Amino acid sequence: MGPQHLRSLQLLCLLGAISLPRTEALLCYEATASLFRAVSLQNWKWLLMRSMVCKMREGCEETIVLIETGTSRGVVSFKGCSSALSYPPQISYLVSPPGMSIASYSRVCRTYLCNNITNLDPFVKLKA
């Protein structure tokens, strides 16, 4: 590839005839939350919710784990950047009732501030 060919390629890029893929860092929400005992599906909130810039090729992740035993309930959750491949929201029972239940919600996405769940609605729908 000589200098003349390289100049032609640069000119085509400048004119927009050839577009090179752009990779930009993604902005995601970052937060944690853990609450035990008096958790209801309506009063739970994220702590220290803020945005963060991820490393190149990272996506936004959000994971919530709900643990129930009898009348006690606990929630452990995380939002932030992840190098995992993207996947749509997944809700699953890890241990099914009776006695003790463990359910999880998770997803990884790759658009601006897409890890934006703010409540426990996925679990409300799961219990219905």
Task: Return the domain boundaries, the chain.
Answer: 24-127
Of 112, 85, 117, 118, the residue nearest 28 (C-alpha) = 112
The pLDDT assigned to 125 comes to 66
Query: For residue 36, how many other CB atoms are within 10 A of its CB?
Result: 11
Instruction: Supply the DSSP string of 66-91, one letter for each residue.
Output: EEEETTEEEEEEEEEEE-SPPEEEEE
Confidence of residue 96 (pLDDT cuts 50, 70, 90): low
What digits encode the pLDDT tens for the residues 16-72?
A: 444 334 457 899 999 988 877 666 777 777 877 899 999 999 999 999 998 888 778
Tokens representing residue 65 in the block: 């784990």
Q: Identify which has the larger pLDDT, 49 or 127.
A: 49
Quick one: pLDDT at residue 89? 93
Q: Among residues 73, 48, 61, which one has the least CA distance to residue 124?
A: 73
Please give the single-letter amino acid code of residue 118.
T
Is the predicted pLDDT of residue 100 greater than 80, yes or no? yes
**Cβ(65)–Cβ(44) under 8 Å?**
no
The answer to whether the CB of 93 falls within 8 A of the CB of 40 is no
Give, in words, the CATH class of 24-127. mainly beta
